[in-house]
Amino acid sequence: MTARVLAGPPAAEVLLQDAAARASRLPAQPSLVIVRVGDDPASVSYVRGKARKAGEVGLRGTVHALPEATSQADLLAVIDSLNRDDDVNGILVQLPLPAHIAEMAVLHAIDPRKDVDGFHPLNVGELWAARPALTPCTPAGIMFLLKHYGIAVAGVRAVIVGRSHLVGRPLAALLLNADATVTVAHSRTHGLPSVTREADLLIAAAGCPGLITPEMVKPGATVIDVGINRVPGAGGRSHLVGDVHPDVSGVAGALTPVPGGVGPMTVAQLLANTVRAAELQHH
């Protein structure tokens, strides 16, 4: 048996259409500013994709590109001016930042009401207090994908492999808020396969290509692959692989592909968050 494929694009389309409809009911076109520092090729491509998608659904998406050598003070000054600009509803600072800039200082500086990444400590706290306003895009996109495909969360055993601030931790809060029984495993977990085999819902977010092998998966489980790992392929061309080994499709009941699974959900959720931020600001 092969696992049901949980494709991202059809679910993302539903989320985008809802965001577009809500945007059209607002008094002004929602506006998202994406700040990028430096020229990391993956970041350049992600940021361009986010801004293009914003335009497609009727939002204003602007990229504010700064040179690699930008000082922390100069970046904070840019954020301050975006915070004060009433025409800007959402601010996203693309991570990772160059090593000379303290990520936390930057994330703390963004107005929590414009924090479409949901990384500001106020939004992190509200999420863990089960009163979320703006929630991180990848975890929120995964929750939407599960709902779209009718996969039950309440009462199930969910195991997340990975404890990052971008995915593992906020996803644990969202799943807990949705009444799952949640375990967060990570690189120091003893006996990882016996932990993952308990999962009805297994989320691989460790950034480790092929980490999850068939014997680590309970037969029939839903497996969500958050890994985006670029590995060298034939003919010197790199390609994308997830954290889940392809053979898992023979054991899992449902599985997200890489690419074309979680990735499109992240972008759609960012735009949904931008519309949400605009709605909150117009209140």
Of 117 and 200, nearer to ligand GUN (C-beta) is: 117
- Stated as kind and residue range, the H or E segment containing 8 is helix 8-24
- 243 part of the active site: no
CA atoms within 13 A on the CB side of 44: 7
Report, in Å, the least distance between residue 94 CB and ligand GUN.
5
Region of 82 on the Ramachandran plot (φ > 0 left; ψ -120 to 50 alpha; else beta): alpha
Residue with the closest Cβ to ligand GUN?
Answer: 95
How far is C-alpha 92 from the geometric centre of its chain's CA atoms? Answer: 12
- 53 part of the active site: no
Is residue 164 annotated as involved in ligand binding? yes
Of 57 and 137, nearer to ligand GUN (C-beta) is: 137
Question: What are the strands, taking DSSP E only, across the chain?
Answer: 4-5, 31-37, 60-66, 90-93, 157-161, 181-185, 201-204, 222-225, 229-232, 238-241, 254-255
Rounded to 10 degrees, what is the CA torsion of 169, 171, 174, 176?
-70
Site residues, ligand GUN (CB under 6 A)? 92-95, 117, 137-138, 166
Place of tokens 């297994």: 202
Report, in Å, the least distance between residue 129 CB and ligand GUN.
22
- 117 part of the active site: yes
Catalytic residue among 115, 117, 225, 243: 117
Report, in Å, the least distance between residue 10 CB and ligand GUN.
21
Is residue 249 annotated as involved in ligand binding? no
- Stated as kind and residue range, the H or E segment containing 3 is none
Report, in Å, the least distance between residue 228 CB and ligand GUN.
9
Catalytic residue among 53, 94, 111, 225: 94
Of 164 and 281, nearer to ligand GUN (C-beta) is: 164
Q: CA-to-CA distance for 220 and 112, rounded, in angstroms? A: 40
Of 70 and 138, nearer to ligand GUN (C-beta) is: 138
Is residue 61 annotated as involved in ligand binding? no
Is residue 230 annotated as involved in ligand binding? no
Which residues are the active-site residues? 50, 94, 117
- Known binding-site residues for NADP(+) equal 162-164, 228
Residues contributing to the annotated binding site: 162-164, 228
